[in-house]
């Protein structure tokens, strides 16, 4: 496998993600471009990319891009787990722990349906849900920084602005 060709075709962050997620340190790994594309589409395009795009789009559309200052419910995840796993060189587990947060954020979108809160004029709840999602995206970004530095920088720059606008696809699906 020519890593330069993969990086040229899919980007360094995507290749780094796959290798760190699928091949534990000090162990042999199995690579195929089909497995790479499957993981890329499932995790990077669908889970992470779709989450970031949806949250930025909803904040722009429903809150005019401004994240309100509201009291948030306490999160039931911890970035300490990710840090601990990184310090133990268990990168694949650190990424799995991060993806639990990604899946939790996507589930929050699906369960709370911000578009319905908006259409029903339940603005108080909408503000809490979207503010919570923004915090989750920012936390995910922190957890991903050692693994996907360019992607994390893009998300940070976008979500740390006074006004959030829709972010283009971080990882377009590979057909």
Given a cut of 90, is residue 3 above it in pLDDT?
A: no
Instruction: Report residue 90's pLDDT band, with 50, 70 and 90 as the boundaries.
Output: very high
- Asked if pLDDT for residue 139 goes beyond 90, the answer is yes
Q: Which of 30, 15, 57, 26 is nearest to 169 (CA)?
A: 57
Cα–Cα distance, 46 to 15 (Å, whole number): 16
Structure confidence at residue 54 (pLDDT): 96
Count CA atoms within 13 Å of residue 50 on its CB side. Answer: 16
* pTM: predicted TM-score of the whole model, two decimal places: 0.93
What integer pLDDT is reported at residue 21 of this predicted model? Answer: 94
Overall residue count recorded for the chain in this entry? 175
For residue 62, name the pLDDT band (cuts at 50, 70, 90).
Answer: very high
* pLDDT band with cut points at 50, 70 and 90 for residue 1: confident
Please tell me the distance from the alpha carbon of residue 43 to that of residue 48, in angstroms, as a whole number.
Answer: 6
Task: Report percent pLDDT > 90 for the chain.
Answer: 86
CA pair distance 6, 107, nearest whole angstrom: 31
The proportion of the chain whose per-residue pLDDT surpasses 70, expressed as a percent, equals 100
């Amino acid at each position: 496998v020519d890593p330069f060709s993969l990086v040229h075709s899919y980007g360094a962050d995507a290749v780094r993600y796959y290798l760190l997620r699928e091949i534990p340190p000090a162990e042999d790994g199995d690579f195929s471009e089909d497995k790479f594309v499957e993981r890329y589409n499932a995790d990077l395009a669908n889970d992470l990319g779709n989450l970031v795009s949806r949250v930025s789009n909803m904040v722009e559309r429903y809150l005019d891009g401004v994240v309100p200052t509201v009291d948030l419910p306490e999160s039931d995840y911890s970035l300490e787990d990710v840090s601990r796993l990184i310090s133990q060189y268990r990168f694949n587990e650190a990424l799995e722990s991060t993806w639990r947060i990604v899946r939790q954020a996507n589930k929050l979108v699906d369960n709370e349906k911000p578009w319905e809160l908006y259409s029903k004029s339940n603005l108080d709840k909408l503000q809490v849900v979207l503010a919570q999602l923004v915090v989750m995206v920012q936390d995910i970004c922190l957890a991903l920084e050692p693994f996907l530095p360019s992607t994390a920088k893009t998300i940070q720059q976008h979500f740390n602005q006074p006004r959030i606008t829709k972010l283009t696809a971080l990882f377009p699906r590979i057909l």
